[in-house]
Amino acid sequence: MTEMTLGKALGAGLRQAMRDDEKVVLLGEDIGKLGGVFRITDGLLDEFGASRVVDTPLAESGIVGMAVGLAFRGYRPVVEIQFDGFVYPAFDQIVAQVAKLHYRTQGRAKMPITIRIPWAGGIGAAEHHSESPEAYFVHTAGLRVVAVSNPEDAYRSLRQAIASDDPVIFFEPKRLYHHKGEVDLAAPLADASPMGLARVMRTGTDATLITYGAMVSTALQAADAAEDEGISLEVIDLRSLSPIDYDSVAASVRKTGRVVVAHEASREAGVAAEVIASITERCFEYLESAPLRVTGHDIPYPPAKLEKYHLPDLDRLLDAVDRVLDRPNSLTGADA
């Protein structure tokens, strides 16, 4: 086991994937000499050369469209979108081309493309640098969507995404790039938990807290705080947003009967809405209270000084936990 940051783990994952398969090529803005604006590709140009670590013109649709052409020729392109808010110019190439070509050709054209997106907020960034666009991609058939929350998962899931014959939108929480954790660099990929499975990060009995990405840390903090009040929270990291591992989710909900789903992205038609709808369909009879969402507001991402009012924090999570447990909360007041 090696202790490393999530950012370094991603770099190690890319390096290993490129060593394992010479058809893996990287495309992106500033990923060569600079090593990417977050330095995730640091050192890869030196090891693999400019034909496999390709610095591109500044054009996101062009980058993803190039990846489609390379996939037609049997490559496994890994695209770096520089920031979450810059993915929109590539939207057509992702949802109309990358996502559909396998289906259109009934598998004759494979699109094993990984699109890495530094993602979400909490770093005080400038406008367009803190978006949470995951719902757009979850809504698009043909894509897999992954959101990692720790260095070990980042290293493993990225290699799995690259090895997958399907296109994967790979969300990397910027807020956690410098967070450290243990990574087993030597463990065989085949032994890792499959990419589509959720993980129970902490077991509990009173309510289930479901989230993904950087919010997993917040949820675990909430579980610690709740424990101080005698409340036992189960925390689930979804890891994969398409597909969502509803078997794991349902097993937890059947145990606890109470659910809070949290994410940074805004609420309307978001991932939490889908998770709660599916929980309601699958295990309505086990529910002891209405499932709740704790999300970003339905607003454009606010300026950096205001983002703390947008992002769900520990207290908003605990307030929702109080509500699903029928404890005094922001709606009922202390006297309820």
Partner 1 sequence: MSPQITPIADTAQDLELSERILAPDGSRIANPRLDAFVADVDAEQLRALHRDMVILRRIDAEGVALQRQGQLGLWAPCQGQEATQIGTARALAPQDYVFPSYRETGVIYARGAQPGDYVRMWRGEEGAGHDPEALRVAPLQIIIGAQTLHAVGYALGIRHEGADEVAVTYFGDGATSQGDVNEAMIFASSYQAPVVFVCQNNHWAISEPVAVQSQFPIAGRAPGFGIPSLRVDGNDVLACMAAMRWALDHARSGKGPAYIEAVTYRMGPHTTADDPTRYRDDAELESWRRRDPIARLEQHLRNAGELADTHVAETQAAADAVAKDMRAACLGMVTRPPLAVFDGVYAEPHTGLERQRDEYAAYLASFEVEA
Q: Say how many C-beta atoms besides its own lie within 10 A of residue 206's C-beta.
A: 18
Least separation, in Å, of the C-beta of 25 and partner 1?
8
Question: CB-hemisphere CA count at 13 Å for 282?
Answer: 18
Establish whether 179 is a catalytic residue. no
CB of 141 to partner 1, least distance (A): 6
Look up residue 56 and give its DSSP letter: -
- Looking at the Cβ atoms of 9 and 66, the one nearer to partner 1 is 66
What the block records as the tokens of 202 is: 């902490």
Q: Which is nearer to partner 1, 194 or 303 (CB)?
A: 194
| Nearer CB in complex with partner 1: 112/151 | 112
Contact segment (CB under 8 A) with partner 1 among 140-148, 215-223, 224-232, 302-310 equals 140-148
How far is 320 from 292, CA to CA, in rounded Å?
Answer: 7
Residues 86-125 that bind partner 1 (CB under 8 A): 89, 92-93, 96-97, 100-110, 112
CB of 71 vs partner 1, minimal distance in Å = 8
- Looking at residues 5 to 44 of the shown chain, list those that interact with partner 1 (rule: CB under 8 A): 25
Q: Both tokens of residue 193?
A: 């938990």
Could you say whether residue 145 binds partner 1 (CB under 8 A)? no
Do the Cβ atoms of 240 and 270 come closer than 8 Å? no
The residue with tokens 């259109």 is 104
Which residues make Cβ contacts (< 8 Å) with residue 146, sequence separation at least 6? 157, 161, 168, 169, 170, 171, 195, 239, 240, 241
- Interface with partner 1 in residues 237-266 (CB under 8 A): 242-247
DSSP structure class, residue 94: I
Q: Which is nearer to partner 1, 87 or 325 (CB)?
A: 87
Distance in angstroms (rounded) separating the CA atoms of residues 13 and 98: 23
Q: Find the binder of partner 1 among 30, 62, 254, 280 (CB under 8 A).
A: 62
Please state, in angstroms and as integers, the Cα–Cα distance from residue 267 to each residue in 65, 163, 240, 294, 300, following that order: 31, 32, 18, 8, 12
Residue in 29, 166, 264, 322 binding partner 1, rule: CB under 8 A: 166
Among the listed residues 102, 128, 129, 263, the single catalytic one is: 129
For the CB of residue 116, give the shortest distance to partner 1 in the complex, in Å: 17
Residue 143 Cβ, how far from partner 1 at the closest point, in Å? 9
Omega of the bond leading into 243 within 30 degrees of 0 (cis):
yes
What is the DSSP code (8-state) at residue 126? P
Which listed residue (2, 5, 16, 164) binds partner 1 by CB under 8 A? 164
Angle at Cα 48 formed by Cα 47 and Cα 49, nearest 5°?
105
- Give the Å distances, CA to CA, from 191 to 156, 184, 186: 10, 11, 11
d(C-alpha 31, C-alpha 205), whole Å: 45
Q: What are the tokens at 147?
A: 């959101």
Q: Which of 61, 221, 280, 329 binds partner 1 (CB under 8 A)?
A: 61
- Residue nearer to partner 1 on the CB measure, 4 or 26: 26
Q: Which is nearer to partner 1, 97 or 149 (CB)?
A: 97
Smallest distance, Å, CB 108 to partner 1?
6
Residues annotated as catalytic are 129
Residues lying near partner 1 in the complex (CB under 8 A) are found at 25, 51, 54, 56-57, 59, 61-62, 64-75, 77, 89, 92-93, 96-97, 100-110, 112, 141-142, 144, 164-166, 196, 242-247
